[in-house]
């Protein structure tokens, strides 16, 4: 009897001696800001100096086709946090705080439920109603896994801000450039070869090298703490950027991100990929939460839409796997784009093709390259793709072969040789929008009225909303087809305000006084966004006096934040900003209840920036 008891004692002692070793892996997420994959050395940039990330890739997995589903931070974070598409949750509009259904729960809640110590240093801005910091054990500029209980597994996020687009703003960029001369840098063909563009590229290489050093410091700290063999490390950027046509664009430069994952030998059974290899299968931010849960042995909850690409519950990538991309309102400016890609072929659909492809935000115009790019266009110095970006209308469809055209400068949508692929990818996008119940089909200014303060996703999924009918109409409306004016006019009198919206959009896009009777009726619509859309259509049809008068009447009576944003967007597009009364500007600046973006508009109007 003594021998079994002795063996039991030895076993217990061994267990206690190993109590500080986690039974499940620690997870370290290192994120950088605003740098697309092409800025990193291991992704083929020979001018980059990123030795620590490159070394991590040599010992880990480099994902060749990793994507942020959205090309801007808050929208991307909401996708990551809950493992669900922002357009499903209703979190696709930049810095919005709309409510979301309780079924969407953060990966943090699942990990903490399993005893993990979860820290975030320190970006939040999760883009939905709630307390962003409350979900973490620690969330601050000092949050760190070292503060956990002894032996407690951790999941720690470190967000590196040195590569943010603002790092190229004159008041933040510091000495420049230090490593590469502006004359030496490679200028990709989607950008005009301007001195300011070259200088920003050279300066950003320095920022990337600094960021790489910070990645190294975090890895060294992990090693010094004796935790490297117990910790799975992810490095990725929060979306693309940073020079023009990067951030806020669903081109590769805006959404294709570097992603390197290092899985120590101890946890090698959790990955099917070869160490030091390159992974071809597409992955996206919507996949991160399910993957994280899979790495600690949990199955994906029903509300998560992504795919676990590592761990015990890994799902193999479908043979025809496609990443879903989306872009809607960024800061003050509205616009709706969707896309899909498998890493080789990319299809982009503009649902508001009457708008130019630049700008999608005013924030970027503190960057010298953006300012110079705009001035070169204004001065008539650009042609080809460089000029087209600033022109309206845009083509509603784009198709790119990323293998032969990685910078996406040759649109194949009108090429008969690719007609079959175009139709297939258009259908695939439409199917994906149906699958995820894309809430972007409902204009944001209508959300409060239609959803009654509840999540917009519940309204879109309700039996009272004709999702498929609205989706079909949105595709029809964005085609600029004069042959469809009759159908659009019928929808303009629909009982459904969302269908009326898309019908009026379609009539505006078609132009040439198409559907004038329906547009005049739209001026009396119950929803401001429809009245404004009708007024803008009048302006585009040569009836500027009537259209502007209707918009200014709307301005003096409307108080809803998103309706006002939409209205000022329209006033800008028809060059009617000078018509806005000074009294309205001054009152808006004094109004404590005015929305932040509406106030920004007022500030820009007052300063003459619009």
Catalytic residue among 42, 73, 118, 139: 73
Instruction: For residue 351, report the phi and psi dihedrals to the nearest 5 degrees.
Output: -95, -5
Q: What is the strand order of the sheet 345-350 is part of?
A: 323-327, 337-341, 345-350, 397-401
Task: Establish how many alpha carbons lie within 13 A of residue 106's alpha carbon, considering only the half-sphere containing its beta carbon.
Answer: 19
Distances (CA, A) of 475 to 91, 392, 397: 22, 19, 11
In this structure, how many other beta carbons lie within 10 angstroms of the beta carbon of residue 11? 10
Cβ-Cβ contacts under 8 Å for 168 (sequence gap 6 or more) = 200, 203, 204, 207, 242, 243, 367, 368, 369
Cβ-Cβ contacts under 8 Å for 285 (sequence gap 6 or more) = 67, 68, 69, 70, 76, 79, 80, 306
| Residue 539 a catalytic site member | no
Residues 295 and 27: beta-carbon distance below 8 Å: yes
**Smallest Cα–Cα separation from 292: which of 159, 88, 154?**
154
- Helices assigned H by DSSP within 416-455: 419-436, 447-451
Which letter does DSSP use for residue 172 in this model? T
**Smallest Cα–Cα separation from 536: which of 395, 392, 438, 397?**
392
Tokens of 136: 């973490």
Q: What angle do CA 89, 93, 99 make, to 5 degrees?
A: 45
Instruction: For residue 262, report the phi and psi dihedrals to the nearest 5 degrees.
Output: -110, 120
The position carrying tokens 């001026």 is 523
Which residues on neighbouring strands pair with residue 324, listed in sequence order?
A: 340
Distances (CA, A) of 588 to 61, 201, 202, 304, 423: 52, 39, 41, 41, 47
Which letter does DSSP use for residue 331 in this model? T
Report, as residue numbers or ranges, the catalytic residues. Answer: 73
């Amino acid at each position: 009897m003594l021998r079994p008891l002795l063996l039991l004692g030895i076993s217990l002692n061994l267990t206690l001696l190993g109590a500080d070793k986690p039974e499940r892996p620690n997870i370290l997420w290192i994120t950088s800001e605003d740098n697309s994959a092409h800025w990193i050395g291991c992704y083929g940039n020979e001018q980059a100096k990123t030795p620590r990330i490159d070394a991590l890739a040599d010992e880990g997995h480099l994902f060749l086709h990793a994507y942020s589903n959205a090309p801007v931070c808050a929208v991307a974070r909401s996708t990551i946090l809950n493992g669900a598409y922002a357009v499903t949750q209703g979190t696709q509009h930049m810095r919005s705080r709309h409510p979301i259904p309780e079924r969407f729960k953060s990966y943090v809640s699942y990990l903490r439920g399993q005893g993990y110590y979860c820290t975030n240093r320190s970006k939040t801005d999760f883009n939905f109603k709630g307390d962003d910091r409350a979900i973490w054990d620690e969330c601050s500029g000092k949050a760190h896994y070292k503060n956990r209980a002894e032996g407690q597994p951790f999941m720690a996020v470190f967000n590196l801000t040195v590569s943010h687009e603002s790092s190229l703003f004159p008041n933040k960029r510091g000495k420049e450039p230090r490593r590469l001369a502006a004359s030496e840098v490679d200028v990709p063909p989607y950008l005009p070869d301007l001195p300011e563009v070259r200088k920003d590229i050279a300066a950003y290489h320095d920022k990337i090298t600094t960021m790489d050093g910070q990645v190294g410091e975090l890895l060294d700290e992990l090693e010094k703490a004796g935790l490297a063999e117990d910790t799975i490390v992810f490095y990725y950027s929060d979306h693309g950027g940073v020079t023009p046509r990067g951030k806020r664009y669903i081109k590769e430069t805006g959404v294709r991100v570097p992603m390197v994952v290092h899985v120590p030998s101890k946890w090698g059974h959790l990955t099917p990929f070869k160490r030091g290899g390159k992974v071809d299968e597409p992955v996206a931010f919507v996949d991160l939460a399910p993957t994280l849960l899979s790495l600690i042995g949990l199955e994906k909850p029903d509300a998560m839409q992504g795919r676990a690409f590592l761990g015990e519950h890994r799902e193999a990538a479908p043979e025809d796997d496609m990443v879903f991309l989306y872009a809607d309102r960024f800061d003050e400016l509205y616009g709706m784009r969707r896309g899909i890609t498998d890493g080789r072929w990319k299809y982009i659909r503009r649902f508001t093709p009457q708008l130019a492809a630049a700008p999608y935000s005013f924030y970027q115009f503190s960057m010298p390259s953006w300012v110079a790019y705009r001035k070169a266009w204004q001065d008539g110095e650009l042609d080809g793709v460089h000029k087209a970006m600033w022109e309206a209308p845009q083509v509603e469809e784009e198709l790119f072969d990323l293998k032969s055209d990685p910078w996406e400068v040759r649109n194949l949508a009108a090429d008969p040789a690719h007609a079959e692929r175009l139709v297939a990818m258009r259908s695939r996008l439409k199917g994906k929008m149906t699958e995820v119940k894309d809430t972007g089909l409902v204009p944001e200014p209508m959300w409060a009225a239609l959803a009654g303060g509840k999540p917009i996703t519940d309204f879109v999924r309700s039996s009272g909303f004709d999702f498929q009918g609205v989706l079909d109409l949105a595709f029809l409306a964005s085609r600029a087809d004069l042959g469809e004016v009759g159908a659009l006019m019928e929808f303009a009198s629909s009982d459904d305000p969302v269908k009326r919206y898309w019908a009026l959009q379609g009539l505006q896009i078609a132009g040439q006084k198409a559907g004038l009777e329906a547009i005049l009726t739209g001026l009396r619509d119950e929803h401001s966004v429809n009245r404004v859309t009708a007024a803008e259509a009048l302006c585009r049809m040569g009836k500027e006096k009537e259209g502007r008068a209707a918009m200014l009447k709307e301005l003096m009576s409307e108080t809803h934040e998103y309706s006002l944003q939409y209205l000022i967007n329209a006033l800008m597009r028809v060059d009617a900003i000078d018509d806005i009364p000074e009294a309205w500007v001054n009152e808006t600046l004094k109004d404590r209840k005015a929305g932040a973006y509406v106030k920004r508009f007022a500030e820009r109007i007052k300063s003459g920036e619009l």
